[in-house]
Chain A
Amino acid sequence: MRYIFVLTCSLALLTACTQSQNKNPEAKVVTTSKPSVLSSQSDGDPLLGLPAVPIPNDNLQTPEKISLGDKLFHDKRFSIDGTVSCANCHDAKKAFGDGLAVSLGHHDLTGTRNAPTVINAAFYTSQFWDGREPDLEGQSKQPFVNPVEHGLTDHEVILEIVRTDTDYQTAFSSIFGVSGKQVSIDHVAKAIASFERTIISGNSPFDRYYFKGDTKAMSDTQVRGFKLFIGQGRCVSCHTIEQDHALFTDNRFHNIGIGINDIQQDVPRLAEAFLQAKNKDVDVDIMVLTDKKSSELGRFAITNELDKVGAFKTPTLRNIEMTAPYMHDGSLKTLKDVIIHYHNGGVTPASAKVNAYLSGGIRPLNLTEAQIDDLVAFMKALTSPEYAQSSANTTIN
């Protein structure tokens, strides 16, 4: 829906539109490629800098399905105490994050990981910080039944609601042709995923600078920051930029010295205990979100690969200014903290012990104070106009 209002609202109406619940009946444009007609508008192509959204063959986009997904995404009844919807932690007003270090579930329980923004999540080739689900469909099912998120013991509560609520009955029947017991959690997941595939956003100052040749789109310090980004800063090796688009992620997993640094001595014990538990069919999703130390095993917990200990997915940098705090555990408050962490070669503070499993690409950068500031400035050139607007009345940073 956020995508749709971008298409249908002029910039001046944007704030008002955000606050309405997107019930615009004309909003039904769904596409997998850039709508070139928009390029002629004064505010440009909102998808500038993005590739086509990958849409799975078994879950094609339709306006009705997207609208259903939007509704499901915001339904607080899908939680143990009726207070938690997807939007609690993925709040459109907070750039589809929550501004917290780690997210709050029911009864203010906290997990172990920072809520990643939904914006442009459709482009990832795996979901969650550790990539434990291949797609948005798989991802969307897990928080409902995690003990520290929505807190449901199983998906039955959700199915009960969607099978009996008349609006939902009508929607599932017309979209999927199912009713009663035929409605499964996979239908719910498909609708939510379809909705999330509309939350995509490009057209940042960087996009206009790089892909449209608008040399004025970025400030001098941002341009210097960009040169550092692809040079001495070594950022672009993981936060990739292609010739005709930029997702700022390699979709790979790297140990960058976050979280793992504090538990280095425990890793042999934790790794063995984790694998034993996993072999006894303990749910990985629950384990990594409820046990802070196991959480820090990162991608290793999913693949058992030794070179993935403490490794997490490279997140996109689009709209990064709006999604503080940073890193998988939300442990770094500002973009400057992040740049300094990399500058230090994967440690915060600089005197901390480098972890033995550190990804081979992470090394001290020897940046000057001014260069660090330039890189931070460049990060702020990656914000899409609609989120730059919505951030004006938030307290981030």
Chain B
Amino acid sequence: MSTTNRSRRNFIKNTSALALGSTLPISMIELAFANSNENFTFAYISDSHIQHIKGTRFVRNWDQGLKRAVAETNLLTPKPDFVMFGGDLAQLGSKPELDHGAEILSAISNDIHYVMGEHDYYLDLGAYWEKLFGPQYYSFDHKGVHFIVLNSIRTYDEWTYNRWPSNEQRMLEMAGLDNPNGSPFMVGNEQRKWLNNDLAKIAKTTPIVVFSHSPLQKIYKGWNFWTEDAEQIQALLKPYNKVSVIYGHVHQIQYNQIGNISFHSVMATAWPWPYPSTYAQAEQYLPQLTVPMNRADPFFERDATGWQFINMANGNVDLNFTLNSNKNRSVKFNNVNKRPEDSQFQEQGSQIPPQTHY
């Protein structure tokens, strides 16, 4: 702790020499490896759901969400080391959607690493996505941290290959919520074997960050806030001292600690979940994992959407949520309680009660 604080103070001192105060939100660099050269941030944009209407027309609202996140990411000072895109770039996985999304993302002035979402995948099982963005699962190292990207939204082969009359039908079935025809997400044998081999080369003290689209924990099956082989993945990650999992898909802020693994969700740029209770068309069974968000304002279509930039903090991740028309949030690893905590709203007394009606 004291080491962290000292190096953080030094770092802030050094930063202010650049004439950018530590209080400026777009320079919210904090902390934290012993060697300050290893401090870094990366930005995380996710769940844009670019939706093709026809011809050159796309759903305006989703376009604006992604464009806004891209423009704001480009305002970060100092620049993040890289940008992650967390999956569901497209709504129904089509070439026009993926192309259009890639074009919007091309305005980012950093390297981007991509995660596969189910909305990108179930039309052609990621074939066109791979052409644009590269392999569906991979790993890379950056400043002493090992980053792993998994395709966590695969499912049983029988469902994928033998059940549907068309690829389009398959895509639509997986896009549905509370769909009795759906199927649970999973990482699967092939990738677990690869993960095992990939991890074998990594020292137990190396901080590990895993990016997936679905939560690598089981939250709510009906909406696939779920990964069928979550326990097996967690077991593979268990020997490592510092592991963080960052996932998209849920369009809301969630965080959790299971053993040595910190779990974080990221926000969507498209729309928020859960819907306000007055708008929900089905009963919601989310457990009490999250600090309730302010309800979305139906007039401001960007309300309760957002993106985040992430500090690597002594090998843990601190998520800074940038929420348009809403109060920004920050979820950081608490070294005393050994779990991620909301920096403002963690205590019961400081939470804002959710509104129950419009």
Cα distance, A278 to B301, chains bound together (Å) = 31
Residue contact B19 to A305, C-beta cutoff 8 Å: no
B20 touches A357 (CB 8 A): no
Q: State whether A267 and B75 are in contact (beta carbons under 8 Å apart), knowing that A275-B26, A307-B324, A356-B67 are contacts in the complex.
A: yes
B71 & A361 in contact (Cβ 8 Å cutoff) = no
Determine how close the nearest CB of chain A comes to the CB of B207; give it in whole angstroms. 28
Q: Identify the closest chain B residue to A275 (Cβ).
A: B24
Contacting residues, chain A, for B303 (C-beta < 8 A):
360
Interface pair A279/B21, CB less than 8 Å apart: yes
Q: Within B222-258, which residues are at the interface with A (CB < 8 Å)?
A: none
Count chain B residues whose beta carbon lies closer than 8 angstroms to a beta carbon of A. Answer: 26
**The one of B25, B61, B71 that contacts A357, using a Cβ cutoff of 8 Å:** B71
Given A306-B25, A363-B60: A272 touches B77 (CB 8 Å cut-off): yes
Chain A residues in 8 Å Cβ range of B27: 275
- Whether a CB of chain B sits under 8 angstroms from the CB of A359 is yes
Partner of B77, one of A234, A275, A309: A275
Q: Is the CB of B19 within 8 A of A361?
A: no
A32 at the interface (CB under 8 A from B): no
Interface membership of B74, Cβ < 8 A: yes
Interface of chain A, main secondary structure: loop
Q: Find out whether the CB atom of B299 lies under 8 angstroms from the CB atom of A276.
A: no
Tell whether, in the assembled complex, residue B75 and residue A360 are in contact, meaning their CB atoms are under 8 Å apart: no
Kindly state the separation between the CA atoms of A309 and B74 in the bound complex, as whole angstroms: 13
The residue in chain B whose Cβ has the minimal distance to the Cβ of A345 is B60
A275 touches B20 (CB 8 A): yes
Q: Which residues of A contact B21 (CB under 8 A)?
A: 279
Least Cβ–Cβ distance between A225 and chain B, in angstroms: 20
Taking the closest CB of chain A, its distance from the CB of B66, in whole angstroms, is 9
Measured between beta carbons, the chain B residues less than 8 angstroms from A306 are: 25-26, 72, 75, 322
A309 surroundings in chain B (CB, below 8 A): 71-72, 75
> Given that A275-B77, A279-B19 are known contacts, is A356 also in contact with B70, CB under 8 Å in the complex?
yes
- A354 on the B face (CB < 8 A): yes
A13 to chain B, nearest CB (A): 45
Which of A345, A358, A364 has the most chain B CB atoms inside 10 A of its CB? A358
Given contacts A276-B20, A356-B70, contact A234 B64 (CB under 8 A): no
- Chain A, Cβ-Cβ closest to B301: A360
A56 contacts B by Cβ under 8 Å: no
Kindly state the separation between the CA atoms of A275 and B64 in the bound complex, as whole angstroms: 25
Q: Which residue of A lies closest to B72 (CB)?
A: A306
Docked-complex contact A358 and B75, CB < 8 angstroms: no
- CB atoms of A360 and B325 under 8 A apart: yes
Which residues of B come within 8 Å of A, CB atoms? 19-21, 24-27, 60-61, 64, 67-68, 70-72, 74-75, 77, 299-303, 322, 324-325
A-B pairs with beta carbons under 8 Å apart, 27 shown: A234-B299, A237-B299, A267-B71, A268-B75, A272-B75, A275-B24, A275-B26, A276-B19, A279-B20, A279-B21, A304-B24, A304-B26, A306-B25, A345-B60, A354-B64, A356-B68, A356-B70, A358-B68, A359-B325, A360-B64, A360-B300, A360-B301, A360-B325, A361-B301, A363-B60, A363-B61, A364-B60
- The 9 A-B residue pairs with the shortest CB-CB distance in the complex, in nearest-first order: A360-B302, A356-B71, A360-B300, A356-B67, A360-B301, A307-B324, A237-B299, A306-B72, A279-B19
Q: Give chain A's interface residues, CB within 8 Å of chain B.
A: 234, 237, 264, 267-268, 271-272, 275-276, 279-280, 304-307, 309, 345, 354, 356-361, 363-364
Known: A279-B21, A356-B64, A360-B299; 16 extra A-B contacts, CB below 8 A, are A237-B299, A267-B71, A268-B75, A271-B77, A275-B20, A304-B25, A306-B72, A306-B322, A307-B324, A309-B75, A356-B70, A357-B71, A359-B302, A360-B302, A360-B324, A361-B299
